[in-house]
Amino acid sequence: MKLTTTSYAILGHLALRPWTMYELAAQMRNNVHYFFPRAESQVYAEPKRLVGHGLARVDKESVGRRARTIYSITDAGRAELERWLAERTAKGPTLEFEGLLRVFLAPLSSESALVDALNRIRDDVSEMLEAVDRVGSEYVAGTAPFQRHAMTRSIVYDFLASYAELADDWARRSIARVEAWPELDDEARHEEAMRIFRSHARAARRRRGA
Amino acid sequence: MKLTTTSYAILGHLALRPWTMYELAAQMRNNVHYFFPRAESQVYAEPKRLVGHGLARVDKESVGRRARTIYSITDAGRAELERWLAERTAKGPTLEFEGLLRVFLAPLSSESALVDALNRIRDDVSEMLEAVDRVGSEYVAGTAPFQRHAMTRSIVYDFLASYAELADDWARRSIARVEAWPELDDEARHEEAMRIFRSHARAARRRRGA
DNA sequence: GACAGCATGTAATGAGTTACATGATTAA
DNA sequence: TTAATCATGTAACTCATTACATGCTGTC
């Protein structure tokens, strides 16, 4: 029985309540999408495997002539999920960031391409910023679907919101830096870059001290 | 001719200077690993495809009886790379974060499992923090292999360092929050969570105002 | 009568990973 | 002479993605 992390993501959702795959796909899109993105086709495929392993159960219902399939967790599923949650995390966080690769390779192209890449990043981040904000205001209003889990959700939310804010702030200040380059000579530009390296080095020292 | 982003990552490195794949693998491990992670086997496979497309060239050298294969970019490769760099970025940044999924599902397990997951995250992040710090001090010392690209590299570095600092700060404060839970009643815990949501909502409003 | 949203998939493909294998060189 | 590092891959696999395809239901 080989389950993937995706399997446990779905199984975990089934432990919260039963879902149709359509609902679950929507839920994943709103909630875990920013730290565990999966294609919809996966969301539809996984539960069948879970059923095959006896970890989930299917119930057929219908709305008029349209069928809907409701999946719920079984006792075996709950046990397996608990086992997994007690396990040590397999993989550290990974980031995949094509835009940053373009910044990295920017000396090979033009400054305008660099600014374009940074602006494109801002567009992508602004979507995340909005999504995060939407979820946040649901919790503040007390209307979130899992309001009773507000404490743990606030931890996840704190990360996601901080991350999105950081990405946007970084892109903004970087665009400003690049736009200031034409006014600086080589020496001044280099010195300005060194300020960045040094400020993070200072932060690292503070961290080690604490 | 279908090239992947990985192809362009390699091609971009070849545009900086010729490399053996061994050197390049090491370079990727130190530099782009945190925003564009790829298995070593990929790094060895890609250049052959590039050669097949006429974008790179191989030269055989030898150190004693040991062969080394040096890859360099061709004019066609440089042109193709320029074309790609002018193109609009295909994919936004994505994060894959199993640890955060465990936090998300924490209500299904124990508080100690939650703290374990957060501590595991800190371990993973501390590696990144060290790696970033190592690279940063090379630039500060003026001994970095691509010192002449310090300006653009400082942009990439700024993101990576900020990100690692954020992740560590977040994990720390979250552990502290969870550890304070036993001293609070339900009401107080909920209120404490709401403070998090509200503080990011305030940040969002400021952002919209600006 | 049309369109947005509900609901569920399949087929083809592929990019990338894991695990392994091999051997030369150099510094301790 | 042992270990680290230089150097280069292959084979098998698998997880996941892209791109459809289909049809019902409720609402404007």
Name A76's Cβ contacts closer than 8 Å, sequence gap at least 6.
Answer: A53, A54, A55
CA distance B139 to B149: 10
Strands lying side by side in the sheet with A19-20: A19-20, A66-73, A56-63
Name B22's Cβ contacts closer than 8 Å, sequence gap at least 6.
Answer: B68
CA distance B136 to B20: 25
Measured in whole angstroms, how far is the alpha carbon of residue B43 from the centre of its chain?
A: 16
A51 CB less than 7 Å from any atom of strand C: no
In chain B, whose CA is at the least distance from the CA of A151? B193
Token reading at B59: 């030269």
User: Within an 8 Å CB–CB cutoff, is residue A207 touching chain B?
Assistant: yes
B145 and A188 Cβ atoms separated by less than 8 Å: no
Mean pLDDT value across chain B? 96
Angle, nearest 10°, between helix axes A150-180 and B186-209?
Answer: 20
Residue range B149-171: average pLDDT? 98
pLDDT in the model for residue B63 = 85
Name the residue among A115, A121, A123, A119 with its Cα closest to residue A100.
A121
Q: Please tell me the number of Cα atoms within 13 Å of B159 on its side-chain side.
A: 26
Residue range B122-134: average pLDDT? 95
Angle, nearest 10°, between helix axes A111-141 and B186-209?
Answer: 140
pLDDT in the model for residue B59 = 96
Q: Within 10 A of A1 (CB to CB), how many other CB atoms are there? A: 9
Name A7's Cβ contacts closer than 8 Å, sequence gap at least 6.
Answer: A46, A49, A50
User: Within an 8 Å CB–CB cutoff, is residue B158 touching chain A?
Assistant: yes
User: Within an 8 Å CB–CB cutoff, is residue B185 touching chain A?
Assistant: no
A26 CB less than 7 Å from any atom of strand C: yes
B14 and B72 Cβ atoms separated by less than 8 Å: yes
Name B127's Cβ contacts closer than 8 Å, sequence gap at least 6.
Answer: A92
Measured in whole angstroms, how far is the alpha carbon of residue A71 from the centre of its chain?
A: 25
CA distance A16 to B195: 25
- How distant, in Å, are the alpha carbons of A41, A72, B7, B55 from that of B48? 33, 48, 10, 10
The residue among A95, A109, A124, A186 with the most chain B CBs within 10 A of its CB, best to mutate, is A95
| pLDDT of B210 over the 80 cut | no
**Structure-derived torsion over alpha carbons of residues B53, B54, B56, B59, reported in degrees to the nearest 10:** 120
CA distance A200 to B3: 36
Identify the residue whose tokens are 């990100």: B163
**A161 with B81: Cβ contact below 8 A:** no
DSSP B62-106: EETTEEEEEEEE-HHHHHHHHHHHHSPP-S--EEE-HHHHHHHTG
- How distant, in Å, are the alpha carbons of A79, A175, A178, A179, B126 from that of A95? 31, 21, 24, 27, 15
Give me the amino acid identity at B127: E
pLDDT (tens digit per residue) in B86-95 = 999 999 999 9
pLDDT (tens digit per residue) in A148-161 = 999 999 999 999 99
Backbone angles phi, psi at B38, to 5 degrees: -140, 145
pLDDT in the model for residue B62 = 87
pLDDT (tens digit per residue) in B49-88 = 999 999 999 999 988 888 899 999 999 999 999 999 999 9
- How distant, in Å, are the alpha carbons of A41, A114, B152, B155 from that of A107? 39, 9, 7, 12
Write out chain B residues lying below 8 Å of A136, CB-based. Answer: 197, 200-201, 204
Q: How confident is the model at residue B1 (pLDDT cuts 50, 70, 90)?
A: low
pLDDT in the model for residue B54 = 96
**Which nucleotide lies nearest residue B96, CA to C1'?**
D16
| pLDDT tens per residue across all 210 residues of chain A | 689 999 999 999 999 999 999 999 999 998 899 999 999 999 999 999 999 999 999 999 999 889 999 999 999 999 999 999 999 999 999 999 999 999 999 999 999 999 999 999 999 999 999 999 999 999 999 999 999 999 999 999 999 999 999 999 999 999 999 999 999 999 999 999 999 999 999 999 999 887
